[in-house]
Chains A and B, each alone.
Chain A
Amino acid sequence: MYVFLNSILASGDNGRHLAGDIKEVYWGSAAFFILLGLIVWKGGPKIKELMNKRTESIRTEIYDSEKQKTEAMSALHQSAGDMPDLGQERSRIRKEALDTAKKLKTDLGVKAVDDAKAIVAKGQSDCENLRRQASADLATELAAITRDTTEAVVINDIDSQTQIDLIDSYIDNIGQMV
């Protein structure tokens, strides 16, 4: 302390750094230390509390960071774990597509055969219908020719005596016809 005070007091115009009465130095120093004590006494807890809060905040941030890091690592591992599943899924889809294509090919083949059979059956049916229709038309035409010929023969052959006979026959049989 002495050395300190001497160094302070040294080198002024009067050979000391601080002019004035030495008592001012003592009182100034006392005031300084009193003020310092007050600051430490009153401000210390506040400063400590702020420091603690800051420390806690940093600790929380570190914890959150660690947590995020853990989650990221977990996701990374999960993705890495899923990679084999993707491969399997691709294989499954490919197999399913192949199976579907094979089944479709089979179904189309069966359908083509069925369609061909149906076309053949319809063709046969149409041919049969045409044959029947032609037969029916021919029969109708023959019947028309026959009846027209018969009618012409009957009309030509009928004479007045035949007319009288027809009327007499009608009169004789009217009793059974009524």
Chain B
Amino acid sequence: MTSSNVIAGYSAALYSVASSEGELDSVKSQLNSVADAFNSNEDLRSALSDRLLPPATRNQIVDDLLAGKTSDVTKALVGMIVSAGHGSAFPDIVGSFVERTASGKGHKFATVKSAVALSEDQKARLAKALSASIGSEVEIQNVVEPGLVGGVVTLIGDKVIDGSLRNKLDKMKDSF
């Protein structure tokens, strides 16, 4: 388990590098895509999180995976996290980075958990709906959690908007 200090440290490093390179938005978008792939692909997740593999091998996997699909900056940042042995915390680091970029723009940040990955269209519609509801721009980070069975759970600030099937099943259990 990677500590919150490590996650905060790496997200700050990502933000600093992406800002200095002037690629904040593109890096954020590409990191989100990589995180989605990481969450939805068990083999990829296992390979990038396996500390028994040499760092060079893990870095080579990142190079092969992202070659031609992301910018060099994004590829280098992902390689840095994975080769340092924090692959298992990659989605959390990306989430923290997205939250940092959102607050840097004065936007709200929401973590959206779902049983299956949201499509880009669904993300955009959800961000728009949330922005309209709270009166502020919202940036979202989708995290896949199969344990939710179905539906979505949104965490924004100290609010939890639970529309998951897991929650409905638990309520049904309590009602028996």
Contacts and interface: CB of A to CB of B under 8 A. Distances in A.
A178 B159 contact: yes
A166 interface: yes
Nearest to A140: B176
B152 A158 contact: no
A150 B170 CA distance: 11
Interface residues of B, number: 25
Contacts of A177: 161, 163
A175 B133 contact: yes
B6 interface: no
A162 B163 contact: no
B172 A174 contact: no
A114 interface: no
Interface string B66-78: 0000000000000
B32 interface: no
Given A146-B176, A147-B173, A174-B130, A168 B122 contact: yes
Interface in A43-97: none
A174 B122 contact: no
Interface of A: 139-140, 143-144, 146-147, 150-151, 154-155, 158, 160, 162-163, 166-175, 177-178
Which 8 pairs across A and B sit closest by C-beta, in order of nearness? Answer: A143-B176, A178-B133, A170-B163, A170-B152, A147-B173, A166-B151, A174-B129, A166-B150
Interface of B: 114-116, 118, 122, 125-126, 129-130, 132-134, 149-152, 154, 159, 161, 163, 165, 169, 172-173, 176
Given A147-B172, A150-B172, A171-B122, 20 more contacts: A140-B176, A143-B173, A146-B176, A147-B169, A150-B169, A154-B150, A154-B169, A158-B150, A163-B116, A166-B163, A166-B165, A167-B151, A170-B126, A170-B151, A174-B126, A174-B161, A174-B163, A175-B129, A178-B130, A178-B133
